[in-house]
């Protein structure tokens, strides 16, 4: 079985106002459904995460990790 792509950096802190994890940028719904998603859907969400984490558009200096 192939490993699931994941942006998780094991810093789980959900912002109550935005509902977004400060570590990875995913919503609680996305985190909960992550293992049920297809790889294409996960990759599409991962493309959005940098902007969620930094609305000014700066790209974070980290690689996506494999879970």
Structure confidence by residue, pLDDT tens digits, 47-56: 999 898 887 7
**Domain spans, the chain:** 13-54
Cα dihedral: 29, 54, 15, 10 (round 10): 70
pLDDT (tens digit, 9 = 90+) per residue, 21-44? 999 999 999 999 999 999 999 999
Q: What is the pTM of this model?
A: 0.75
Q: What pLDDT score does 57 carry? A: 58
């Amino acid at each position: 079985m192939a490993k699931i792509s994941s942006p998780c950096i094991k810093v789980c802190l959900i912002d109550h106002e935005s509902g977004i994890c400060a570590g990875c940028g995913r919503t609680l719904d996305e985190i909960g459904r992550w293992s049920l998603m297809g790889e294409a859907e996960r990759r599409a969400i991962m493309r959005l995460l940098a902007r969620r984490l930094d609305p000014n558009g700066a790209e974070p200096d980290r690689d996506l990790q494999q879970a």
